[in-house]
Amino acid sequence: MGSGKRTLTTAAIALVCTVTVLGTSGTACASPGRPAPTPAPSGSAAPAPGNDLEAVRRKLDTLYHEAAVATDAYDAAEEKTKKQSARIVDLAREIVKGQEKLDELKNRAGAAARAQYRGGGLPPEVRLWLSNDPQQFLDEAGVARQGEHATEGLLSEMTRTQEDLKQYARDAADQWQKLDANRKAKAQAKKTIEQQIAAAEKLQSRLKKQEQERLQKLEEQAAYQAQTAWLDSGILQEIRGKASAEGAKAVSFATDQLGKPYVWGAEGPKSYDCSGLTSQAWAAAGTPIPRTSQEQWKQLKHVDVKDMRPGDLIIYFGDASHVAMYVGDGAIIHAPRPGRTVTVAGAGSMPILGVVRPDE
């Protein structure tokens, strides 16, 4: 980790200690080396927002949440189109190989038929009577019978190959239909994302500079209060898990991405969305995981919050539309939303759906 990252991490650790002291009594701070959440200013330090500004905050939360849901749909469709495209390429190769095999079988069957025709002009008893060497005739007859069996085998193999080709063609047509459907789903998700982000940006652009500053403090206060409530439950005193070797690598990768911008659909290396960050972090640790937060929630092993350890993924909201990486000391690293960068935050600053562990 570079000196800039170490400085940022150390500062974050100091800040999470402050949050922990405010949220729980007697909780010790961990040693430096892992990033931690940055608390928002206390309520008395910021101007009291009006009801209208609070309504704006809630509306922005809704718009960005809907954009996150659409982003998950976009990412899922993108992943499926990649797999379907690869499958179509594989099927095309199988069709080419199958056609080459069928052409070879036809040539072999034709040659066998021609040979059989040349030697089959007279009945067997006449050929035996005319033969100077009855044993040679019997040997040739045996060879002929073997040839007939071989020809039958060739015809059967040709039939199987033809059926295989038909099945490959049916599979390819099916994959094309699915590919087209997922391309349409991806396009619709992209449209929804862009609409929601544009609506959020338009809403924010109407605010004066002072209102935007107050709105930011209001957002920070909401996250701070949620984190404090989470710490007040005493949960941090129960979380004692240590990172696995793979988990430590994933945390290191995520830490190295701090400050990079959120871009929906992005998987790095210059920008990320929430699940793009977590999936790439675990890929760097040698453990591939599903691309989207919803599939991560469905497919990875669930663990209790009290049993989580650095490197585990925290899934947020009832629809599993957001994911972050737990890095210890009650902190997460995540890519929050459009207009923000990969950052450290409190693990309890958003509604937790559950925790999953990629390396078990």
**Residue 355 bridge partners (DSSP):** 303, 314
Could you tell me if 116 and 147 are in contact, meaning their C-beta atoms sit under 8 angstroms apart?
yes
* Full strand arrangement of the beta sheet holding 343-346: 301-303, 352-357, 313-316, 322-328, 331-334, 343-346
Q: How many C-beta atoms lie closer than 10 Å to residue 316's C-beta?
A: 24
Stated as kind and residue range, the H or E segment containing 343 is: strand 343-346
Could you tell me if 295 and 308 are in contact, meaning their C-beta atoms sit under 8 angstroms apart?
no
Nearest to 275 by CA among 345, 344, 323, 309: 323
Rounded distance, CA 102 to CA 110, Å?
12
Rounded distance, CA 336 to CA 340, Å?
6
Provide the b/e sequence for 99-115 (b: ≥16 CB within 10 Å).
eebbeebeeebeebeee
The catalytic residue positions are 274, 322, 334
Rounded distance, CA 284 to CA 269, Å?
12
